Amino acid sequence: MRTLGYLGPQGTFSHTAALHYTGLYGYTPVCCSSLDAVVHKIASKELTCGIVPVENSLGGSVGETLDLLTNIDGIWVTSEFLLPVKQHLLARPGVVLADISKVYSHPQALAQCHSFLKQQLPDTPVVETVSTASAALMVAGAETAAVAAVGSQSAAVTYGLQILQADIQDHPNNTTRFLVLGREKPVFSGEAKMSLVLAVRDSPGALCRILSPLAQREINLTRIESRPSGSKLGDYIFFIDFEGHSNSQEVGDAIRELRKNTLWLKILGYYPIAAGDMPPSHLEPVQLVDLPDLRREIDKIDADILSLLARRQQLVEQVAAFKSIDTVVDSSREEEILYRVKELAYQSDIDPDMVEGIYRQIFKGAVRRQVELLALCQ
């Protein structure tokens, strides 16, 4: 089983990123207690890979991630993933805005939604929590329903809350960049980005000497950041991202020259450039106005759905070869799938409860088919 670790608990934006990435590439998400745990479990082969936040367009870099990438060997950045940060006001079903007497959330999330809270809930006290997920959990279990949380769609799905007001963040383009980490160097062609970290001697022109090899070869620098080295005051290391593939002669020449002008240099990874924001939440409207044409279009979609269900059943039958009668039902796997598809349902404006009902029927059918196949083998 291919697994992808993320910083928990469920309902955080790291959880949202993990759900989207696993949905795209077929991994099973695994909740971890810390970023350190994610990275060390990859290194020890407990996880296939992991997804970690590295920077936010408003909050800046995640220092712990940068430190881990610097200090732990055998880990490569294999991909990047951009997640738009959408904050929502979450409450228990049936609650309306006028009912809210208190709002819970992480300090950063509350700050990101300052204008909305000031305008819509001006006299409502706010309570800081350790995460947006813990705020959602507190609302779900509160003695009174007249409370709300600021958090993600994942938190709403995980803790059974409704989105009372969507997209309440002050800045619509707030985005978090995640890095996918693994043990193997990726093999791919096309547009690429490279990340590295290096240390320079504290001397006049030191920064110029590490930028010149890139500028002279017209290599596009996308990010540079300094961070204290931890050795003594005034000593810094630099994190650099630039566009270019490892098999490019210009990139190879630039790195060789950089090594001559640095105390040490570590390549963190090279990976495809992220395409940009995630796909839009809404599909393009169907431009058919004739009823028979609309029905024919629906019939085509139904045929596609059945074809995909048939393909899914074939895979389920292959999975049966790895199971025994007493291990057919994998509840944790089913719950992970439900979290993912309900999140995607929210993104597509589909009723998540309806989607959950459909998938529970699919699970029943899959279990029944696997039991039948295993009985034939006995």
Active-site amino acid positions: 176, 178
Retrieve residue 79's tokens: 């991909």
CA distance 127 to 146: 14
| Dihedral-angle region of residue 340 (phi above 0 means left; psi in -120 to 50 means alpha; beta otherwise) | alpha
The tokens for 236 are 């810094």
**Which position has the token pair 């296939």?**
48
Q: Determine if the peptide bond prior to 9 is cis (ω within 30°).
A: yes
Q: Sign of dihedral through CA atoms 255, 260, 261, 264? A: positive
Q: How far is CA 200 from CA 61, 226, 297, 339, in A?
A: 21, 11, 62, 46
Q: Which amino acid is at 96?
A: V
Closest CA to 189 of 247, 234, 267, 237: 247
